[in-house]
Amino acid sequence: MQDRVIVVTGAGGGLGREYALTLAREGASVVVNDLGGARDGTGAGHNMADQVVKEIKDAGGRAVANYDSVAEPAGAENIIKTALDEFGAVHGVVSNAGILRDGTFHKMSFENWDAVLKVHLYGGYNVIRAAWPHFREQSYGRVVVATSTSGLFGNFGQTNYGAAKLGLVGLINSLALEGAKYNIHANAIAPIAATRMTEDILPKEVLAKLTPEYVAPVVAYLCTEENPNSASVFVVGGGKVQRVALFQNAGVTYDKPPTVQDVAARWDEITDLSAAKQADFKLG
């Protein structure tokens, strides 16, 4: 990580703070971005980002604060501009900024749906898009997005959050293809950790075992030149690091358009995953 410049969004507390501290300890120059708002995205302030920058500098590291919102393209452009102005380059983006507005789907307002997607999914797009030309020009870039088990597997009351988080997996899958010839790697991490985002969701005895310190080294490794993976998803928490991937079975083949009855007759074969292998889907 020595002499690399990494942008970490949502770095004022919890997981993002630990990502920033770990990256700085490994030698990176870090842009500590945080809007400084509440868990639901309301409000703003400078204290959170400033405190993390102070921690890094007090330990001998290099960091600068940024307070822009990732939800707006202009804010994202300014986040990357902060990296360029302060450190002269940008080599990686850890898209971690997020908010929660939970509620069952039948009570989900458009406002709460839209707000979550704007920060998580559009926020990821905005910041990565602002950094992308620099990655291409220098033939190097590392992207890590924060997905979630809520997106990978679902979670009651989090349709907005789950949709946004799985959308980020689709984003890195395509970024990995487009970035391959430019030495740009894009991966996703689904962290399981005790933060202000999860403090009233998980039991206290579980939270005690899920500290951000278990997650941050994996994020830092994904930001290194040595990391060979791209388009990969990792679930990390409580000391366990797992790769998660899609699987597919051999399927069935029809030599002519099937009827509904034809599909029904072979449904057990279509849905049987007992001999499934890791998916490697290609068009054409």
Which active-site residues does the annotation give? 161
* Closest C-alpha among 172, 147, 143 to residue 234: 147
Are 9 and 95 spatial neighbours (Cβ–Cβ below 8 Å)?
yes
Q: CA 165 to CA 159: how far, in whole Å?
A: 10
- Return the DSSP state at 65: E
Q: What is the largest CA-CA distance in the chain?
A: 70
Q: Are strands 247-248 and 277-278 parallel, antiparallel or unpaired?
A: antiparallel
Token output for 114: 């839209």
Are 215 and 21 spatial neighbours (Cβ–Cβ below 8 Å)?
no
- Report the chain's C-alpha Rg in angstroms: 20
Residue 30 pairs in a beta bridge with: 6, 63
Token output for 204: 């206290």
Q: CA 9 to CA 34: how far, in whole Å?
A: 6
- Return the DSSP state at 158: B
CB atoms within 10 A of CB 58: 8
